């Protein structure tokens, strides 16, 4: 009777077997959800060294320093003598405890950052000691290092990518925690500098501990080192410019006219770029951001100023090309609403430039605007301005020149539409816009654009967009747009009276006598940019030598007064230094290095330190603030 029971037993076995086979078929073949839930392979990015930056003579400006990040895995840690370890790491017992606590909170099994960016020396010091303390491990990393505390604005800085940037990237290259160029060259040439990140696929255990390559490294990609940047910066001149701009706010841009290569570019006040390459990045950034002199602003490419009298060169060139005036045209002061500085008799464009005669250029611009047959003055003004705009725009005004730095300001070159909007169509005429004639009014330029103007005049009619990088990696050429010649459309012959005028301005004109460079013929034009508040900005553009110019420069010194006074000496010293490689006028050099115009700088009320921070100084509160800021600023710039 129980003989038949064996069939039930067989049946039970086979039934369970079939159920399990069906279940396996479902899990392994039919259901896809488990295929994708793979969690044991991790892609580890292999971050290459960032490209280095060199100056035009091959001197290193930016390079990478190997640093060591120390990690600790709390579970593996065995510390026999905590005090000895603290001494070796040169931290206090309290530091150690708090760091360990933070590490334990993160994970007991995974390594967490213990000490960041230990220098090679520090690391060498503790490396031997660490052998006795299992649980510590180090990861090699690198920080940007600068051979000189200069060029902060142009170089820019590198920092961890922000969430916003992560979300915004078109091609998902970056990951959380990646470093990225955030401004300056670091940002503009980011794709060249960063190189190509490699990826290693490693298998990891449940605690995230790596356990060797996956598939023997078949799918891994090798990291490619970042490409070096060979800039046109002359590091010596750059630092010389920095020293001249001490105690001043403003900007200096020097360009080699024939190539458009930037020789020096300074925005003052500046800061040490190394401040942004340390673990104290955010602290330092916050400190600089709060500084009322706005050291973070790159005035050279972002600062918007009125060009003042420097713009008279453009007015003369455009009017001559249009035929509104001739090189020998003479105008009386009569009828002009602005005054003149007082000078001898004029004999044409060159002497008007030499003495920067305001009424003369009022008449030049008037001729230019009305150089048509239209009887209606409103319509004639519009026609004239349109033509004028077409000419001027070719000098690069009112647009980006396309320098290889991010966030270049557009500036402003008013056109017909601009005034139509303001006054209404046919609601304005020359008398509304005449301040343009002397570079005031609605014009806005950047120091870079004026340096480019100086280069354009030096070239007698054309320019190459200014750029800092003349070679990338193994390629000796700059980006293709920096080989292209931009023509202004103004005849070469019209430049001669302007150049002559600029030469005479230095020898015996608006420029202070001290600015004359022995043995070098410098052609310059002063400019005084008016302000609603405070003293005028002092502007000077120049190039030298007169024939076959080697350097064109624009100097801005904020709130320093008349153009020939402050900006011209700086420009003349830089030119002398660049061409002769030394400066003969030692006393003059010393004088201008020590000049301080910062106290004139008007700080916007919102930028002022809060009243409770002020020391009680009821009699002269303003001066106190300025002095306090001056002290703060000096402290800032004397950093190594």
Partner 1 sequence: MARNEHITQNIDWLTVLIYAACVTMGLFNVYAAVYNPEEQTKLFDLSNSAGRQLMFIGTGVFLIIAILVIDHKFWEAFAPIIYGFCIFLLLAVLVIGSDINGSKSWIKIGSFSLQPAEFAKLGTALMISKFVTQPNVNLTKFRDLLLTAGIILLPMLLIILSKETGCALVFASFMVVLYREGIPGIYPSILLISITLFILSLFFSPLYISLGLVVLAIIIFRFVLPRYDRNRKTIINLSVIFGAMMLFSASVDFLIKNVLQPHHRKRIEVLIDPKADPMGKGWNVIQSKIAIGSGRLWGKGFLDGTQTKFNFVPEQHTDFIFCTIGEEHGFVGSAAVVLLILGLMCRLIFLAERQRTRFARAYGYCVAGILFFHFLVNIGMTIGLMVVIGIPLPFFSYGGSSMWAFTILLFIFLKLDAQRPFTLSRT
Selected binder of partner 1 within 71, 214, 395, 482 (CB under 8 A): 214
d(CA 467, CA 458): 17
Residue among 234, 229, 64 nearest 150 (CA): 234
Q: Which residue lies nearer to partner 1 by CB, 202 or 566?
A: 202
The answer to whether 78 and 255 are in contact (CB under 8 A) is: no
- By CB neighbour count within 10 A (0-12 exposed, 13-18 middle, 19+ buried), where does 257 fall? buried
Selected binder of partner 1 within 95, 191, 205, 280 (CB under 8 A): 205
290 binds partner 1 (CB under 8 A): no
d(CA 526, CA 515): 12
Least Å distance, CB 200 to partner 1, is 13
d(CA 591, CA 577): 16
Determine the interface stretch with partner 1 among 6-14, 510-518, 537-545, 626-634 (rule: CB under 8 A): 6-14
213 binds partner 1 (CB under 8 A): yes
Determine the interface stretch with partner 1 among 155-163, 206-214, 393-401, 425-433 (rule: CB under 8 A): 206-214
Peptide bond into 269 cis (omega under 30): yes
**Exposure string for 344-377, b = 16+ CB within 10 A, e = fewer:** eebebbbbbbbbbbbbbbbbbbbbbbbbbeeeeb
Q: Which residue lies nearer to partner 1 by CB, 22 or 290?
A: 22
d(CA 425, CA 416): 9
21 binds partner 1 (CB under 8 A): yes
Alpha carbon separation from 138 to 123, 179, 237, 478 (Å, rounded)? 9, 19, 41, 39
Least Å distance, CB 110 to partner 1, is 14
38 binds partner 1 (CB under 8 A): yes
Range 344-403, binding partner 1 (CB under 8 A): none
Least Å distance, CB 202 to partner 1, is 10
Least Å distance, CB 22 to partner 1, is 10
Determine the interface stretch with partner 1 among 19-27, 82-90, 354-362, 416-424 (rule: CB under 8 A): 19-27
Determine the interface stretch with partner 1 among 15-23, 312-320, 337-345, 480-488 (rule: CB under 8 A): 15-23
Residue among 606, 594, 607, 599 nearest 624 (CA): 599
Residue 115 DSSP code:
E
d(CA 461, CA 325): 18
Selected binder of partner 1 within 80, 131, 206, 587 (CB under 8 A): 206
Least Å distance, CB 107 to partner 1, is 13
Strand partners, 45: 199
Half-sphere exposure of 503 (CA within 13 A, CB side): 15
9 binds partner 1 (CB under 8 A): yes
Least Å distance, CB 75 to partner 1, is 14
Determine the interface stretch with partner 1 among 2-10, 252-260, 549-557, 591-599 (rule: CB under 8 A): 2-10
Alpha carbon separation from 553 to 241, 383, 453 (Å, rounded)? 11, 33, 9
Least Å distance, CB 6 to partner 1, is 6
The answer to whether 81 and 241 are in contact (CB under 8 A) is: no
Least Å distance, CB 217 to partner 1, is 11
43 binds partner 1 (CB under 8 A): no
111 binds partner 1 (CB under 8 A): no
Q: Which residue lies nearer to partner 1 by CB, 17 or 427?
A: 17
d(CA 383, CA 395): 20
534 binds partner 1 (CB under 8 A): no
d(CA 360, CA 346): 9
19 binds partner 1 (CB under 8 A): yes
Selected binder of partner 1 within 58, 212, 480, 618 (CB under 8 A): 212
The answer to whether 457 and 313 are in contact (CB under 8 A) is: yes
d(CA 312, CA 323): 16
Least Å distance, CB 209 to partner 1, is 8
Q: Which residue lies nearer to partner 1 by CB, 29 or 94?
A: 29
Q: Which residue lies nearer to partner 1 by CB, 30 or 80?
A: 30
37 binds partner 1 (CB under 8 A): yes
Determine the interface stretch with partner 1 among 18-26, 153-161, 335-343, 632-640 (rule: CB under 8 A): 18-26
289 binds partner 1 (CB under 8 A): no
Residue among 205, 134, 141 nearest 178 (CA): 141
218 binds partner 1 (CB under 8 A): no
Least Å distance, CB 218 to partner 1, is 11
Peptide bond into 545 cis (omega under 30): yes
Determine the interface stretch with partner 1 among 209-217, 244-252, 472-480, 549-557 (rule: CB under 8 A): 209-217
Strands 158-160, 179-181: pairing is: antiparallel
Strand partners, 146: 62
Residue among 49, 209, 217 nearest 144 (CA): 49
Query: Count residues contacting partner 1 (CB under 8 A)?
Result: 41
d(CA 541, CA 553): 6
Range 112-131, binding partner 1 (CB under 8 A): none
The residues that touch partner 1, with contacts defined as CB under 8 A, are: 1-2, 5-6, 8-10, 12-14, 16-17, 19-21, 23-25, 27-29, 31, 33-35, 37-41, 203-207, 209, 211-215
């Amino acid at each position: 009777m129980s003989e038949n029971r064996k069939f039930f037993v067989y049946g039970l076995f086979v039934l369970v077997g079939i159920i399990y086979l069906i279940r396996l078929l479902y899990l392994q073949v039919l259901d896809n959800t488990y295929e994708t839930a793979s969690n044991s392979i991790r892609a580890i990015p292999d971050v290459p060294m960032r490209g280095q930056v060199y100056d035009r003579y091959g001197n290193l400006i930016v390079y990478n320093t190997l640093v060591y990040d120390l990690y600790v895995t709390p579970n593996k840690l065995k510390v026999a003598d905590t005090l000895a370890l603290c001494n070796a790491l040169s931290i206090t017992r309290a530091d150690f405890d708090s760091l360990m606590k933070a590490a334990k909170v993160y994970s007991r099994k995974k390594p967490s950052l213990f000490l960041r960016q230990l220098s090679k020396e520090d690391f060498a010091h503790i490396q031997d000691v660490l052998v006795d303390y299992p649980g510590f491990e180090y990861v090699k990393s690198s920080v940007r290092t600068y051979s000189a505390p200069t060029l902060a604005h142009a170089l820019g800085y590198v920092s961890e990518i922000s969430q916003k940037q992560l979300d915004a990237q078109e091609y998902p290259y970056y990951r959380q925690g990646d470093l990225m160029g955030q401004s300056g060259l670091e940002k503009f040439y980011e794709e060249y500098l960063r190189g190509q990140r490699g990826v290693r696929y490693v298998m990891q255990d449940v605690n995230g501990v790596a356990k060797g390559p996956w598939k023997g490294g078949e799918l891994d990609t090798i990291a490619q080192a970042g490409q070096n940047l060979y800039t046109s910066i002359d590091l010596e001149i750059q630092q010389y410019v920095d020293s001249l701009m001490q105690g001043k706010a403003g900007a200096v841009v020097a360009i080699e006219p024939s190539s458009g290569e930037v020789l020096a570019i300074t925005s003052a006040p500046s800061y040490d770029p190394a401040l942004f390459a340390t673990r104290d990045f955010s602290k330092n950034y916050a400190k600089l951001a709060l500084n009322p002199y706005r050291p973070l602003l790159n005035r050279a490419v972002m600062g918007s100023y009125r060009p003042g009298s420097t713009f008279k060169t453009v007015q003369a060139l455009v009017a001559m090309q249009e035929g509104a005036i001739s090189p020998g045209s003479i105008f009386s002061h009569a009828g002009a609403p602005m005054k003149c500085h007082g000078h001898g008799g004029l004999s044409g464009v060159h002497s008007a430039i030499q003495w920067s005669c305001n009424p003369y250029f009022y008449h030049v611009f008037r001729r230019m605007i009305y150089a048509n047959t239209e009887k209606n003055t409103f319509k004639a003004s519009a026609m004239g301005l349109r033509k004028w705009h077409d000419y001027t725009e070719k000098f690069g005004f009112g647009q980006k020149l396309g320098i290889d730095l991010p966030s270049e300001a557009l500036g402003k070159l008013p056109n017909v539409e601009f005034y139509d909007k303001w006054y209404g169509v046919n609601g304005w005429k020359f008398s509304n816009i005449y301040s343009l004639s002397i570079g005031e009014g609605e014009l806005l330029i950047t120091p870079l654009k004026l340096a480019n103007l100086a280069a354009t005049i030096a070239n007698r009619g054309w320019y190459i967009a200014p750029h800092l990088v003349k070679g990338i990696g193994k390629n000796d050429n700059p980006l293709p747009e920096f080989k292209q010649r931009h023509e202004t459309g103004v005849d070469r012959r019209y430049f001669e009276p302007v150049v002559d005028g600029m030469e005479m301005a230095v020898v015996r004109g608006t420029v202070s006598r001290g600015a004359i460079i022995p043995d070098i013929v410098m052609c310059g034009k002063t400019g005084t940019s008016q302000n609603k508040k405070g003293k005028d900005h002092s502007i000077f553009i120049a190039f030298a030598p007169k024939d076959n110019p080697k350097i064109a420069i624009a100097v801005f010194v904020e709130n320093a007064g008349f153009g020939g006074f402050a900006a011209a000496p700086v420009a003349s010293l830089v030119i002398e230094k660049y061409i002769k490689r030394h400066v003969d006028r030692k006393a003059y050099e010393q004088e201008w290095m020590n000049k301080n115009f910062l106290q004139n700088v008007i700080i916007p009320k919102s930028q002022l330190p809060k009243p409770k921070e002020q020391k009680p100084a009821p009699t002269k509160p303003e001066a106190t603030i300025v002095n306090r800021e001056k002290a703060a600023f000096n402290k800032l710039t004397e950093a190594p």
